[in-house]
Structure 1
Amino acid sequence: MCTQLRQPHGTGSIPDTVSIQAHLKRHVTILATTIGERNLYREDNMKMVVDYIRHELQTMGYTPVFQPVSVPRKTSFGSAAGKTAYNIEVRKPGTTPNAPWLIIGAHYDTRAGMETWNSHGPVIPAKTGTPGANDNGSGVATVLELARIFRHLPTQHGIIFVLYANEEAPFFQTDAMGSRVHARSIAKNPGKEHIMGMFTPETLGCYSPRVNKKRASAVVAGLAGLPDRCDYVAFMSTNTGKDFSRSCSEIFTSECRFPVRAVSFPYYTKAVAWSDDWSYMKEGIPSFAVTDTAFLRCDDYHETSDRAEKLDYREFAEVVDGLARMTARLLNPESTAF
């Protein structure tokens, strides 16, 4: 467990893991059970998840900004061609003028029905997609919980919280990917020199040992130093984000006893790519994914069995608690309160 973190220059503190766990479970249950599959091929559900995220952020006192993400009129996008999705962003300014910002973002869309769990397309309209509890209801819940925690905590650096559309195939690594649109806009304004880095919570809810057949197809896992056991969280990056990721993992370790492994690859390709951190890497912004390792650990990945009751919420809450403490250290580098 992590020790209680207090802020001497403000009125808040990071809450205990019991309350964090309750908030995470509520978010994931609403996303994966009440709403379910959410993508541009299920437009009613897509509207529901956007309304839910907006309501949650407004309740915290934020004013969400909606960034359009346009899908080109290409046959490869099927019935989503020509449609528009939205990224949802809020910002909490820091107390130090001109201090670099930290970006924390996760995608809220889920996998549409395709031939197999690892297909890149095409979408099969008659086939049910995933309800997306772990991928990526857990990531959305993490961003919302961190936004709630830091709403009233004073920080020297500012935070940009963002929820992305269109991370899943067939949009992944295309111009219709929500984080790609956001990263390009950030590189222009405020400019990458004003960003300390970015991390994305991506599939964070699996920590119980369970049968896993999918891992056998991912030989790279063992070569990268990601063991088969489920008792750790991974910080995954490329060379662009390697230093930032390792620095963050050291802070995480100093603040929380939950095991973390920092792994970097020379460059992300279609075969070796994780999530929305790829978009920022492309703009030269240090970035990494925080993950339970998804298909390397969990057979529910990209399946209709990715349901809310499958997640391990106690461990999930410990990880988010550690991320909150890590983030507090990043945003208050001159503080000695931790």
Structure 2
Amino acid sequence: MYKFKILIGFLSFLITVYNSASAQSDTTLIRSHLKTLTKTPQFRNHSNIDQLNLTADYIRTVFKKSTDSVLVQEYDVDQKTYKNIICSFGTENKKRIIVGAHYDVCGDQEGADDNASGVTGLLELSRLLKGKKLNYRIDLVAYTLEEPPYFRTEFMGSYIHAKSLKESNAEVFGMISLEMIAYFKDDAKSQSYPLGILSVKYGNKGNYITLVKKFGSGEFVNQFSKNFKATKSILTKTFASPPSLPGIDFSDHLNYWKFGYDAMMITDTSFYRNKNYHQKTDTMETLDIPRMAKVIDGVYSGLTSLK
């Protein structure tokens, strides 16, 4: 029996290694998704409900190529119906992980980095996860209404989703928010911080991806962060601070914190680096697709390496 248990453990290890090693995001598909999400007749903001619906339909169609478990979570705001799109893998597992990104934009702009990049990450993850043996259920969630005027309100798609998990007593191991994952610069002084002294530790080049967590994070955040960094797919820095520090909760993970879930954000640091933030200049032409692909590979490997 002891030898049998050792054999089972070894086989499980080999499966994990295979799943991690086989991750390779497709930059051609990434470009195609980014183009579809950003080069649209209307801007995908809260006022253009028809465009939001078209975007939601596209996300749903891509998700359905990888899994039959796809759900549309609808809710009403100001007599309009908005949609979160959810797809699931490893549904035989009770404990789940949420990976989310918002597909709406702030105002009249394409929102390539913010946050077509994060949504494209979800779409590519769905392809990579197809048919994989997983230790946890993984729900990929594309949220609506993250941006103003609904940011920090109960109308955020992520608030609606996190609340539904709590109300259904879902067993959630943790949550990851993909928030702007595609803007990189190797130039000196291309990276700023909420506190200038942080440049001494993190450097002044915007050439890395950041794993953002709050002090006192739990097992999921710490284990995933360790796994992500171990892949060495891309230069990675971990940033931990109190939630009160400006920017640390500027995305959908904040709502999972509200409901007591272990959550984190993966980001290129948003406006601390990308000056196209919430501007018409936030276009896919400004993005670093190869490094974005490496971020997605890191997420995939970090997830599939969890025990």
TM-score range normalised by the length of the shorter chain: 0.7 to 0.9
Alignment size in residue pairs: 294
The letter of the residue matching 1:234 is T
Q: Which residue does 1:93 correspond to in 2?
A: 90
- Structure 1 unaligned spans of 5+: 1-5, 72-80, 113-128, 334-338
Instruction: Provide the C-alpha distance between the structure 1 equivalents of 2:82 and 2:72, rounded to a whole number of angstroms.
Output: 9
Instruction: Provide the C-alpha distance between the structure 2 equivalents of 1:148 and 1:221, rounded to a whole number of angstroms.
Output: 40
Of 297, 311, 325, 2:273 maps to 297
State whether structure 2 residue 300 is matched by structure 1 residue 324.
yes
State whether structure 2 residue 209 is matched by structure 1 residue 203.
no
Q: Spell out, residue by residue over 1:104-141, the C-alpha distance to the aligned partner (whole angstroms, 9 max, x if none).
A: 111010111xxxxxxxxxxxxxxxx1201100000000
Contact 1:238 1:268 in 2 (8 A): no
Q: Which residue does 1:336 correspond to in 2?
A: none
Shift of the 186–240 alpha-carbon distance from structure 1 to 2, 3 Å rule, reads farther
State whether structure 2 residue 163 is matched by structure 1 residue 175.
no
Residue 323 of structure 1, CA deviation? 1.1
Of 48, 68, 71, 1:62 maps to 68
Residue 211 of structure 1, CA deviation? 9.2
Contact 1:237 1:288 in 2 (8 A): yes
- Structure 2 unaligned spans of 5+: 1-12
Residues 24-35 of structure 1 mapped to structure 2, 5 A cutoff: 24-34=30-40
Shift of the 269–108 alpha-carbon distance from structure 1 to 2, 3 Å rule, reads same
Instruction: Provide the C-alpha distance between the structure 2 equivalents of 1:42 and 1:272, rounded to a whole number of angstroms.
Output: 29
Of 12, 24, 27, 1:21 maps to 27
CA RMSD of aligned residues (A): 2.7
The letter of the residue matching 1:278 is L
Contact 1:13 1:153 in 2 (8 A): no
Q: Which residue does 1:158 correspond to in 2?
A: 137
Secondary structure of the residue that 1:314 maps to in structure 2? helix
Q: Please give the TM-score of this superposition, normalised by the length of structure 1.
A: 0.79
Q: Spell out, residue by residue over 1:62-99, the C-alpha distance to the aligned partner (whole angstroms, 9 max, x if none).
A: 3421112332xxxxxxxxx3322111112223555x3x
State whether structure 2 residue 53 is matched by structure 1 residue 47.
yes
Contact 2:177 2:265 in 1 (8 A): yes
Q: Which residue does 2:291 correspond to in 1?
A: 315
Instruction: Provide the C-alpha distance between the structure 2 equivalents of 1:244 and 1:318, rounded to a whole number of angstroms.
Output: 21
State whether structure 2 residue 112 is matched by structure 1 residue 133.
yes
Residue 222 of structure 1, CA deviation? 4.7
Calculate percent identity across the aligned residue pairs: 27
Residue 16 of structure 1, CA deviation? 5.7
Shift of the 185–292 alpha-carbon distance from structure 1 to 2, 3 Å rule, reads same
Residue 227 of structure 1, CA deviation? 3.5
